[in-house]
Structure 1
Amino acid sequence: MSNHSLFAPDALPNPALSAADQQLGEGAWVLREYASAHVDPILEALGQIRRHSPFRHMITPGGYTMSVGLTCCGLVGWTADRKGYRYADIDPETGQPWPPMPDVFLALAQAAARRCGYDGFEPDSCLINRYVPGARLSLHQDKDETDFSAPIVSVSLGMPALFQFGGHKRSDRPEKIPLFHGDVVVWGGPDRLRYHGVLPLKDNPHPLLGSNRINLTFRKTR
């Protein structure tokens, strides 16, 4: 059985949005524990990605070292350095193409998007962030892509985090949403360019991943 069939519409226990899901905006939802049943194949695939393209702490254009560790998979990967933020076909750390996106990653991202009304989502990149206690991600917009019609799909694994979901201006006061192991956040349409981030993580070890949080963020870049 292919990984794609794991997430076929008739295989999902709740193909439509359920009472457990939380709507954040007109085009944004939290799907609680949506990825929980498929954590083992996700982590197995992640192990292979890490061996090919290890986590690293990138430098921002302003010269700051990011507190989260990053790697990527897919046709392109997101990178940052003193020259700016961009997508690249080649991993600058290894000089090789990024690892291909595993079937289980793609199937999960497409099923989550479809559940929120975004049919036909075809992500070509998955940014993988690793958080340890104290790591954070400041408020930002995902705007390095050329196609804003596709949603963002974000999967949380490991330690809980406080996700900030703001407005279309940096000054807009963000809502703080607790995210737990297996939760998936999907935002697109009128919410696609809303500011978002993650507050500094507290050390609340997870039984499976210890003092780590892994976040998979799926995007259609072009």
Structure 2
Amino acid sequence: MNSLPTPTVILRDVPVFKAFLNTEMQAAMVQDLRAVVAAAPLFRPVTMRGKEMSVRMTSAGKFGWVTDRKGYRYEPRHPSGVDWPAIPQSVMNVWDAVSGSARRPESCLINFYDEDAKMGMHQDRDEADFDAPVVSISLGDSALFRVGNHERGGKTESVWLDSGDVCVLSGPSRLRFHGIDRVKPNSSTLLGKGGRINVTLRVVT
């Protein structure tokens, strides 16, 4: 396995690789993700309490993360019944470069944030193997990323994630609470009409 790159910032054990993807790589990845969305369209999920989330999402890979009245879980098919598309190679290349894991990601969750969307503080714990990392890629408008503790509450720290940034939750940071407080509108021209795409790669089983 190749040696891992040096992070630009470490935020509470979370390495952040600023400008990891250049402009051309970002544009190519967006095209790959548009193909995923064409096959498995974005949908607005509903929490167990029946509240719509502010992000729209879809997935690629063997499993996709979904939430509805039945709870949070991974499913082998899109809510429409179609299989999830394969994870694009451009996305897999990032996993290979920064994950440090010999395992292959089984799910690629794609979240689209408009200027009003956010993501509350949460842990990624619907996976079976917490030793496997979660790799996150930011594309489009900048977002304020907040990292907390291993239990809910307490002091937090934040950093702006810009288009092309990558961060990794692994080891001591794997189960830290984290979230997106807000998106900075018109901070990137990558997506044309604005907004932010967050891509997260996970090992599920």
Establish whether TM, by shorter chain, passes 0.5: yes
CA contact (8 A) 1:134 1:202 kept: no
Q: How far has the Cα of 1:40 moved from its partner?
A: 2.5
Would you say 1:61 and 2:61 are equivalent positions? Answer: no
> Between the two proteins, what is the percent identity of the paired residues?
37
Distance 1:9 1:33 in 2: 20
CA contact (8 A) 2:101 2:133 kept: no
Partner of 2:85: 99
- From the superposition, tell whether residues 202 and 40 of structure 1 become closer, same or farther in structure 2 (CA, over 3 Å): closer
Residue identity matched to 1:22: V
Distance 1:119 1:192 in 2: 13
CA contact (8 A) 1:121 1:151 kept: no
Distance 1:44 1:59 in 2: 27
SS in 2 for 1:110: helix
SS in 1 for 2:90: helix
Q: How far has the Cα of 1:76 moved from its partner?
A: 0.3
- From the superposition, tell whether residues 58 and 23 of structure 1 become closer, same or farther in structure 2 (CA, over 3 Å): same
Would you say 1:41 and 2:28 are equivalent positions? Answer: yes
Distance 1:16 1:207 in 2: 27
Paired residue for 1:79, among 54, 66, 79? 66
Alignment gaps of 5+ in structure 1: 1-7
Cα RMSD for the two superposed structures: 1.6
Distance 1:165 1:55 in 2: 26
Distance 1:163 1:121 in 2: 26
CA contact (8 A) 1:110 1:121 kept: no
Partner of 2:127: 145
SS in 1 for 2:67: strand
SS in 1 for 2:152: coil
Query: What does the per-residue CA deviation read over 1:97-139, in whole Å, with 9 as the maximum and x for residues that have no partner?
Result: 11111111111122121xxxx2314111010000011100000
Distance 1:162 1:65 in 2: 21
CA contact (8 A) 1:153 1:217 kept: yes
Q: Normalising by the residue count of structure 1, what TM-score does the alignment of the two structures yield?
A: 0.86
Alignment gaps of 5+ in structure 2: none
Partner of 1:5: none
Misfit runs of 4+, over 4 Å: none
Count of residues in correspondence between the two structures = 203
Partner of 2:39: 52
Partner of 2:184: 202
Would you say 1:215 and 2:204 are equivalent positions? Answer: no
Would you say 1:192 and 2:178 are equivalent positions? Answer: no
Q: Normalising by the residue count of structure 2, what TM-score does the alignment of the two structures yield?
A: 0.93
Query: What does the per-residue CA deviation read over 1:46-65, in whole Å, with 9 as the maximum and x for residues that have no partner?
Result: 11101011111100001110
Distance 1:175 1:100 in 2: 35
CA contact (8 A) 2:147 2:178 kept: yes
